Amino acid sequence: MAVSPISSTATILIDGDHRYNNHLRLFSTSTYTFPLKSNHNTSLSLRPNGHICRQSPTTSESLSSNPPAPESSQIQTTTFLDPDAAEKVDLLENFSYTHEFDHGSLRIRLMASNEIDSTVMLLSESFSDAMGLPKRYVEVLAFLVKQYVMEKRSMFPHAATVVAFYKKKSKPSAADEDEKLAGTAEISFNALGMNASPPTPTPPRNFPYICNMTVEKKVRRKGIGWHLLKACEELILELMEEQSPETQVHLHCRIVDHGPFNLYTRAGYGVVERDNMLVWLTFQRRKNLMRKYLKSTTNIN
């Protein structure tokens, strides 16, 4: 496949979901380039520094290799560096959080291998909407997001992705509705689960970090985001309480996202640090780094 070298590169940093903005950055050890269907013969690249680049060609040049085939859905586990590794893996795999609303039921657990594609599409649609990209780019974005999700999945159990399934309560005369994917969130439990270059302000690497939390558009404003956050905290506590009865968890929230900021503040998070004005030079929105201290008695109800 022939692709032309770039004359100018416009860098697009995926800056998170506009509802629950925990700053998604895609990280990879390779650069993936592929053409877009347009009249301008342009292409997008996922660079090793985590940026998506739009490329405008000037002259022809052949790529030395094609984009790699998608990785297997089989989870590749590492180990915790302590004697209780197997027990912690079991805890993660058996984790379940449920909540009953007046309008339906919610179930949150670890993402299974057969749910990777649907989770990737949920993230891709959410971030595409936040970035203002045309719908035709969602499929392209999904390719890049999947590389990131698979890379994070290989860090298990130092990092994990949870998914939320929502089932709407049916009227007595109506047939039961199926359970549907309603949200997702990612947790890094320690330094081994953190991205190589996390977004600024940089969170401490040795404490849990929640990111890439998003809720399906059709079921927002129903309390699902609140309980997705609570489930992440509960999982962190269950996993960390044997090491310490108290820990701290961090997340990012864009300054412009007042709704998520109010949610996090109500849940007990406080601003630790804020991006300075210079971050605008990198085409990013300014973000707050927020922190909450968790104890085994924590209750955010």
Active-site residue numbers? 264
Q: Give Cα 256 to chain centroid, integer Å.
A: 19
DSSP collapsed to 3 states, the chain: CECCCEEEEEEECCCCCCCCCCCCCCCCCCCEEEECCCCCCCEEEECCCCCEEEEEECCCCECCCCCCCCCCCCCCCCCCCCCCHHHHHHHHHHCEEEEECCCEEEEEEECCHHHHHHHHHHHHHHHHHHHCCCHHHHHHHHHHHHHHHHHHHCCCCCEEEEEEEEEECCCCCCCCCCCEEEEEEEEECCHHHCCCCCCCCCCCCCCCEEEEEEECHHHCCCCHHHHHHHHHHHHHHHHHCCCCCEEEEEEEEECCCHHHHHHHHHCCCEEEEECCHHHHHHCCCCEEEEEEEEECCCCCC
Residue type, 96: S
